[in-house]
Amino acid sequence: MTGNDALEALLARLAASYDGSVFFSVADLRKWPKVAVSAFQKAELLKPAAPAVSVTCNGCGQHCSMPVEIVAEAGRSAAFVVCDKREDINRVDVPLERLERWQASCEAMAAFLAATLDINRPLNVATQVKRWDVGRLRSKRVEPVVLTIVDGLALELAGHSVPLDEVLSLKGGRLELDRQRLVDCVDNPAGGGRASESGAQRALRIATRCEQLKETGSRDFREVVAREEDVSVETIKKLLTKAKLLTSTRIAKEI
């Protein structure tokens, strides 16, 4: 197995998950090249998780999923399951290593992609089902980038849907992202894709985002949004003023 085979396996597991989060055992990771595991851990795509609370018991041939008991013996921890299927087995020892788990998630992937693209992720935004905001990629245009699970993991931007495994690879023990391909998508929106955001739409979107942050108690919401949009705080203030004017005008017309 190569490093890119391991990356493909990681992406496939995430794509097949219900909520964008999966766990790997030590035995799982040993099937992958050490250089790949190290790269995933360094990028924080694999993070230590809480120990497993159940395991497949190997005390007999039934392979039951059983809860794990952990006790301290002679100053050291020991784990076991209690078999309730056969009287001649009772306690089955479980190596502590079998309980060790590592977690991968689409949330961590989105954070990694944002850091690699050097863009700011939105803060305190509720994640939609199987959609994770990465941030707004700036080139000749500015377009939001979203990590999605459809038939697999993909990045949606400017009307394009780019399979993640086509732009993310492992080279020389490091994860590399084909930024240029994503920039090309931003500069060349798909014909059937989303139209460019108008000035009015942007102002109203910024105002909505500021309100979301204010509701969470954020006092520096303008600074937060300015970082997300890669603009100055003064620009955010102007957009908020514009949004207020647009809202007032719309209400007046309705009256």
Distance of CA 252 to the CA centre of its chain: 42
For 131, residues 6+ apart whose C-beta sits below 8 A from its C-beta are 146, 147, 148, 149
Residue whose pair of structure tokens reads 């794509």 in the numeric block: 15
126, 88 contact by CB (below 8 A): no
pLDDT given for residue 202 in this prediction? 79
pLDDT given for residue 195 in this prediction? 46
Quick: pLDDT tens for 21-56: 999 988 889 999 999 999 999 999 999 987 766 667
Quick: pLDDT tens for 144-164: 999 999 878 999 999 888 999
pLDDT given for residue 194 in this prediction? 47
Give dist(CA 180, CA 43) in Å, integer. 20
Residues of the chain with pLDDT under 50: 192-195, 255
Distance in angstroms between the alpha carbons of the first and the last residue of the chain? 67
Q: Identify the CA nearest to 147 among candidates 138, 137, 229, 139.
A: 137
The pLDDT > 90 percentage for the chain reads: 39
Phi first, then psi: give them for residue 17, nearest 5 degrees.
Answer: -75, 160
Taking the C-alpha atoms of 205, 207, 212 and 214 in order, what is their torsion angle to the nearest 10 degrees?
160
149, 130 contact by CB (below 8 A): yes
185, 157 contact by CB (below 8 A): yes
**Which pair of structure tokens corresponds to residue 145?**
């980038």
Q: Tell me the residue type at 92.
A: V
Residue whose pair of structure tokens reads 């999605």 in the numeric block: 148
How many Cα atoms occupy the beta-carbon half-sphere of 127 within 13 Å? Answer: 20
**The length of the chain, given as a count of residues:** 255
114, 134 contact by CB (below 8 A): yes
The DSSP letter of residue 122 is: P
Q: What SS3 class is residue 123? A: coil
Give dist(CA 121, CA 124) in Å, integer. 10
Question: Average pLDDT over the chain, rounded to whole?
Answer: 83
